[in-house]
């Protein structure tokens, strides 16, 4: 209050920060948009000083305005000055108006450039009866020049987006909203800003919440982009994009039935994928390079071999440069039935049997392709999916679980059938896969201190490629795995178990068989003050035989899960300790002895600080 006049709440903040160029932080100390807000590059090792003053005034509870002025300098590198203004008027019952504006002027000495960047955004909405019309706008104008000239350089752009919208209120349980976005964008060409494209985007959204145990949401996005003549000559093309998303859930009868469904469809431009191998520190990857075996001077995919421990390459997928029209559909369905949630406590023999059973079905379909008729994908015509000529990538998964005594900790069983089909087309190669699993899992609490989990798995794993590849496989396996856990005290746990598996591989007409077994024992001690000590010893054995006897030839990685022929021993010791709420110390030691190879010992220690 000044002179008897109440000006409201006033807040003034002044920041003066200096960061030495030699400073190295263990974590990010600037917000995510810091570099963009000040129009600066990443850290370059120079001393940095930041001075900023922020003033916020709230003369009325519905009105707030603010302004700021700041300057950032990096010694001998760059400087940036920023002015900002923002205002907000919000009547909680009807009206909301917001406005924000930024002006940034920066100079980069290394690149000999100067930049003026203006950013503006705002919006307004007003509630009228059950309708809420709104208007939103956003604009940016970034002009970058060489200090020795006046022509605009790359990185300059300008855009304006105006978006009127309408929301229907107080129609519970329904909610409806729509918005139309008009956008123009200019880019630098021949030293000036020229029109790049015009785009019109329509957004519609519908929601139904908690109506008779049913809820649903649906959204539709239609975008039409028209390129200017100048940019169309550069090889770009105008595009029309369609995005559809629908999600529903139905859970009646006290959730005895729980049904979820998801549907997404998109029509856009995308690029085919290609697999490339990127070098990483040794021991952190899962591939090794065997060398130029075909002597063509190029690192081909067939020359990379998957490994368990010594990998120094990882496989990544990158998009090719050429964009093509594609359709993309994703469907997910989960259906769970749990009779125990609905049946009464006094049950007949039939009801007791039903109460002990529950089931869950999961279906997932994903397809991305170049089918000339988008309806084949949008209407889920599965005969057109996983097609050699039109599919870029696709997956079809079906999982059916039947549980017996699912909620009983003393004894429970799970019967599973799972089938997955997939196809992916890379640049220069294509892969078609099939995985089927039939398994039984039994969990039992034999005594208060002793528990057991046993898995019996029958699995088929097939992968066919259009080009010669070490990834080709045709595997059939049977596995028995059991694990016991013993907890004499709450701080101590001893676990031990064994696994036996038999894997058959039929590739290139030669049948091979792998017999695998492993045993382990693990000891865990939990400290009462936030630490844990773990020790484990593991023995593995792999033997491979063909029709002509024992063989040590080359097989796909999945045939033995990367195990070498013979016996492998592994031992581990790890200690984790939380010194405080924000500091954690970890020390570990790993050792292994594979077949006739020399023993390998690895130690590590790290401290983590959380801010």
Residue 557, SS3 per DSSP: helix
Quickly state the pLDDT bin for 550 (edges 50, 70, 90): very low
512 contact partners, CB below 8 Å, separation of at least 6: 504, 505, 544, 545, 546, 551, 553, 555, 559
Q: In 3D, which of 124, 109, 13 has the Cα closest to residue 68?
A: 13
Where are the chain's structural domains? Answer: 1-111, 118-227, 251-269+324-445, 273-319, 464-611
Query: Cα 500 vs. chain centroid, distance in angstroms?
Result: 34
User: 349-403 pLDDT, tens per residue?
Assistant: 888 888 899 999 999 999 999 998 989 999 999 999 999 999 999 999 999 999 9
Q: Is 560 exposed, middle or buried (0-12, 13-18, 19+ CB in 10 A)?
A: buried
How far is residue 4's CA from residue 8's CA, in Å, rounded to a whole number?
A: 12
| DSSP3 helix / strand / coil % (the chain, rounded to 5) | 5, 65, 30
Query: Once rounded to an integer, what is the mean pLDDT over residues 217-235?
Result: 86
**pLDDT of 564 higher than 60:** yes
Q: What is the pLDDT of residues 66-121, one digit of tens each?
A: 999 999 999 888 999 999 999 999 987 789 999 999 999 999 888 889 999 999 99
**Predicted structure pTM score:** 0.80
Looking at the predicted structure, is the pLDDT value of residue 161 above 50? Answer: yes
Query: Is it the case that residue 275 has pLDDT exceeding 90?
Result: no
Q: What is the pLDDT of residues 120-153, one digit of tens each?
A: 999 999 988 889 999 999 999 999 998 888 888 8
Helices (DSSP H) in 68-187: which residue ranges? none
pLDDT for 396-453, tens place per residue?
999 999 999 998 889 999 999 999 999 998 877 889 999 999 999 999 999 999 999 9
Determine the average pLDDT of the residues in 557-586.
90
Q: Count other C-beta atoms under 10 Å from residue 529's C-beta.
A: 8
* 499-520 confidence digits (pLDDT tens): 999 999 887 667 889 999 999 9
């Amino acid at each position: 209050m000044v002179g008897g006049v109440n000006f409201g709440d006033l807040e003034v903040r002044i920041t003066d920060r200096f960061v030495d160029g030699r400073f190295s932080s263990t974590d990010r100390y600037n917000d995510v948009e810091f570099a963009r807000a000040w129009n600066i590059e990443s850290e370059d090792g120079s001393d940095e000083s930041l001075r900023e003053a922020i003033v916020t005034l709230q003369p009325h509870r519905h009105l707030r305005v603010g302004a700021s002025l700041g300057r950032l300098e990096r010694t001998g590198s760059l400087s940036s000055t920023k002015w900002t203004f923002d205002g907000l008027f919000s009547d909680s019952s009807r009206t909301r108006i917001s406005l924000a504006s930024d002006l940034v002027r920066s100079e980069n000495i290394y690149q000999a450039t100067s930049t003026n960047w203006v950013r503006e955004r705002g919006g307004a909405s007003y509630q009228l009866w059950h309708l809420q019309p709104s208007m939103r706008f956003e604009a940016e104008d970034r002009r970058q020049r060489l200090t020795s000239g006046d022509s605009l350089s790359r990185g300059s752009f300008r855009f304006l987006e105006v978006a009127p919208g309408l929301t229907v209120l107080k129609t519970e349980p329904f909610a409806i909203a729509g918005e139309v976005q008009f956008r123009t964008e200019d880019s630098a060409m021949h030293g000036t800003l020229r029109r790049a494209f015009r785009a019109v985007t329509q957004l519609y959204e519908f929601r139904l919440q908690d109506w008779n145990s049913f809820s649903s949401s649906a959204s539709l996005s239609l975008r039409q982009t028209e390129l200017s003549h100048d940019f169309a000559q550069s090889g770009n093309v105008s595009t029309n994009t369609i995005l559809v998303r629908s999600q529903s859930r139905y859970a009646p009868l006290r959730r005895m039935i729980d049904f979820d469904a998801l549907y997404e469809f998109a029509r856009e431009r995308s690029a085919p994928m290609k697999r490339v191998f990127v070098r990483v520190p040794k021991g952190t990857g899962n591939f090794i390079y065997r060398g130029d075996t075909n002597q063509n001077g190029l690192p081909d995919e067939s020359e990379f071999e998957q490994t368990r421990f010594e990998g120094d390459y990882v496989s990544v997928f990158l998009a090719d440069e050429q964009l093509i029209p594609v359709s993309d559909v994703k469907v997910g369905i989960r259906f769970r039935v749990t009779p125990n949630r609905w049946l009464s406590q006094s049950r007949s023999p039939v009801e007791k049997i039903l109460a002990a059973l529950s089931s869950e079905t999961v279906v997932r379909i994903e397809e991305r392709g170049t089918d000339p008729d988008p309806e084949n994908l949008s209407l889920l015509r599965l005969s057109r999916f996983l097609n050699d000529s039109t599919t870029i990538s696709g997956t079809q998964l079906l999982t059916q679980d039947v549980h017996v005594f699912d909620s009983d900790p003393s004894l429970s069983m799970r019967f599973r059938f799972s089938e997955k089909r997939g196809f992916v087309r890379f640049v220069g190669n294509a892969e078609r896969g099939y995985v089927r699993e039939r398994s039984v899992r039994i969990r039992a609490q034999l005594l208060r201190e002793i528990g057991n989990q046993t898995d019996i798995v029958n699995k088929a794993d097939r992968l066919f490629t259009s080009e010669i590849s070490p990834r080709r496989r045709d595997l059939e396996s049977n596995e028995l795995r059991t694990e016991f856990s013993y907890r004499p005290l709450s701080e101590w746990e001893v676990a031990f178990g064994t696994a036996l598996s038999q894997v058959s591989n039929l590739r290139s007409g030669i049948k091979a068989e792998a017999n695998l077994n492993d045993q382990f024992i693990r000891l865990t001690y939990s400290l009462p003050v936030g630490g844990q000590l773990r020790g484990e010893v593991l023995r593995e054995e792999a033997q491979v035989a063909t029709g002509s006897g024992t063989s040590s030839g080359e097989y796909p990685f999945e045939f033995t899960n990367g195990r070498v022929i013979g016996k492998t021993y592994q031992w581990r010791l790890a200690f984790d300790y939380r010194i405080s709420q924000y500091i954690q110390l970890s020390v570990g030691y790993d050792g292994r002895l594979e077949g006739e190879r020399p023993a390998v010992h690895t130690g590590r220690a790290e401290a983590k600080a959380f801010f």
